[in-house]
């Protein structure tokens, strides 16, 4: 297959697994967050939007370090996950998938939010009256 050895195929399979799990983990949450940001007005909306887009502003090293501190075996969240459920994220492919999901989340939210905002709310009301 294109002159790839078993090691290269394993690397490609791992990359695809990380990407797939990352998208599947963050997509439902991104849709809900984008819908809330596109359709509702509430106090603190600007702050919520800023927190959602924080991984875009911070350097990736800072986000990775924060994830290691929080989700490491001795971190506040990671120690609980390890004790109660036996889940470890640090230095595993699941940690890479989680980091990818967090770094890609703002981009997903932005694209979905723009798509939802482009739909006229009157069309949604008309569709609801017709049984959709």
pLDDT digits (tens, 9 = 90+) for 79-105: 999 999 988 998 899 999 999 999 999
Q: Which own/partner pairs from 42-48 qualify as long-range (CB within 8 Å, at least 24 positions apart)?
A: none
The whole-number pLDDT of residue 1 equals 56
Mean pLDDT of 92-119: 94
What's the pLDDT tens digit per position in 18-76?
Answer: 999 999 999 999 999 999 999 999 999 999 999 999 999 999 999 999 999 999 889 99
Burial group, residue 89, by CB count within 10 angstroms (0-12, 13-18, 19+): buried
What's this model's pTM, rounded to 2 decimal places?
0.85
């Amino acid at each position: 297959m294109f002159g790839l050895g078993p090691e290269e195929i394993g690397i490609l399979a791992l990359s695809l697994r990380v990407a797939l799990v990352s998208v599947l983990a963050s997509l439902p949450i991104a849709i809900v967050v984008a819908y809330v940001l596109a359709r509702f007005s509430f106090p603190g909306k600007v702050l919520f939007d800023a927190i959602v887009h924080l991984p875009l502003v911070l350097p990736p090293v800072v986000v990775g370090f924060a994830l290691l501190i929080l989700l490491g075996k001795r971190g506040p969240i990671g120690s609980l996950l390890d004790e109660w459920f036996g889940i470890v994220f640090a230095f595993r492919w699941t940690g890479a998938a989680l980091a990818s999901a967090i770094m890609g989340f703002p981009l997903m939210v932005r694209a979905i939010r723009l798509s939802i905002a482009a739909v006229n709310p009157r069309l949604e009301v008309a569709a609801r009256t017709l049984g959709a």
